[in-house]
Amino acid sequence: MSWTLSQSFLSNSSPVIKTIEMHTGGEPLRVIISGYPKIHGDTILQKRRYAKNNLDHLRKMLMFEPRGHNDMYGAALVDTDLPEADIAVLFMHNGGYSTMCGHAIIALGRLVVDKKYVTATEPETEVNIQCPCGLVKTLVEYKDGKSGYVRFHSVPAFLFASNVEIKVKGYGMMTVDISYGGAFYAFISADVLGLDVRESSTSDLKRAATAVSDAVKKQVKILHPEDDDLSFLYGTILTDGQDNWSADPTANVCVFADAQVDRSPTGSGVTARIALQHSKGFIQIGQKRIFESGVTKSLFSGTAIKQVKCGDFDAVVVEVSGQGHYTGEASFILEEGDIVGEGFLPN
């Protein structure tokens, strides 16, 4: 016996929202393909505000249980306002809408090529993706009709503040660096908090990183030089402290949004960490580093490829590479009267 969801079968239901399910390094990505209402706005940041103010019930329905979970991640394709962009995207998660997401860019690069939104060329196909933080050039490996690894070039990334002293509840005075890679992150070595990013439990890492994020949000004013919509701390990245260049992988764990734990090494986080390492003289232009997720042991690479400016900040463009994978397709509905089905997260 087989059947598919349809409006005739579900006569009193909401429209069917169809998605393609992917992951990059273990971090999920739910890509909305059809059934979503039009997201209005002349610019992508206006679209982001529109989604937040008018469509947040759908974010909760798709990201939260029973269809998702606390660590689900999503992407909605929207109309681009940049002539050079092939697609534009809004990112969503348990706390709202982010400005950049590298793991999503890596997965979307494959999807755009495989769905023939652009004409594929060998050995790489260029896909320009407009994100809320700006245009991201993406290069998708393509051979014998198959897509593979993806690398992207970041928006200008920079060290915002170095050796910032904060008082962290439960831990005392700490020193963090704050760096931007399409989103702002606080960076601190896990051993300062009595933890190990490769060995400590995810719950302990999440608790400590959340405490650091809470402290930074209360005690540090973050400003992006070009747009106030980008001026907020997205999360904290706990590292193994190995910032000097090495051929060996360096591990980190990113806790972002509402205490959401990234399973991947974090694409925008790798971007921000490369910017930090370059600014402090730990790595040079062209030196590739390998970054390991402390959760899944998956790997991204990151390389500062050129120096630029972002406002008054010395910045770099960072190339990040990794591979996304497909996990399935889904059709989601909300039946009339299903209050629980509107989305919930357990305490």
pLDDT in tens, 226-245: 999 999 999 999 999 999 99
CA 163 remoteness from chain centre: 25
Rounded Cα gap, residues 268 and 280, in angstroms = 18
- Sole residue written with tokens 């529109």: 50
* Active-site option among 101, 131, 133, 310: 101
pTM of the full predicted structure? 0.95
- What integer best gives the mean pLDDT of the chain? 95
Distance between start and end Cα atoms, the chain: 39
* CA nearest to 86, candidates 114, 117, 131, 48: 117
Q: What is the mean pLDDT of residues 86-112?
A: 97
Evaluate whether 17-152+326-342 and 158-321 have a shared fold. yes
HSE-up (13 A, CA, CB side) for residue 86? 21
Output the pLDDT for position 312: 96
3-state secondary structure at position 310: strand
Domain positions in the chain are: 17-152+326-342, 158-321
pLDDT in tens, 146-187: 999 999 999 999 999 999 999 999 999 999 999 999 999 999
From residue 142, how far is each of 103, 119, 130, 131 by CA, in Å?
A: 19, 11, 21, 23
Q: What is the mean pLDDT of residues 320-335?
A: 97
Output the pLDDT for position 4: 56
- Sole residue written with tokens 């719950």: 203
Q: Is 8's pLDDT higher than 70?
A: no
How many CB atoms lie under 10 A from the CB of residue 270?
Answer: 32
Higher pLDDT, 347 or 189: 189
pLDDT in tens, 243-284: 999 999 999 999 999 999 999 999 999 999 999 999 999 999
Q: Is 67's pLDDT higher than 80?
A: yes
Output the pLDDT for position 12: 53
- Sole residue written with tokens 């190995």: 242
3-state secondary structure at position 62: helix
Q: Is 3's pLDDT higher than 70?
A: no
How many CB atoms lie under 10 A from the CB of residue 4?
Answer: 7
Architecture of domain 17-152+326-342: Roll (3.10)
Known active-site residue 101: yes
Architecture of domain 158-321: Roll (3.10)
Output the pLDDT for position 13: 57
Higher pLDDT, 5 or 52: 52
Contacts of 11 (CB under 8 A, 6+ apart): none
| Secondary structure in 3-state letters for 93-112 | CCCCCCCCCHHHHHHHHHHH
Q: What is the mean pLDDT of residues 115-140?
A: 97
pLDDT bracket for residue 347 (50, 70, 90): confident
Q: Is 2's pLDDT higher than 70?
A: no
Rounded Cα gap, residues 150 and 142, in angstroms = 9
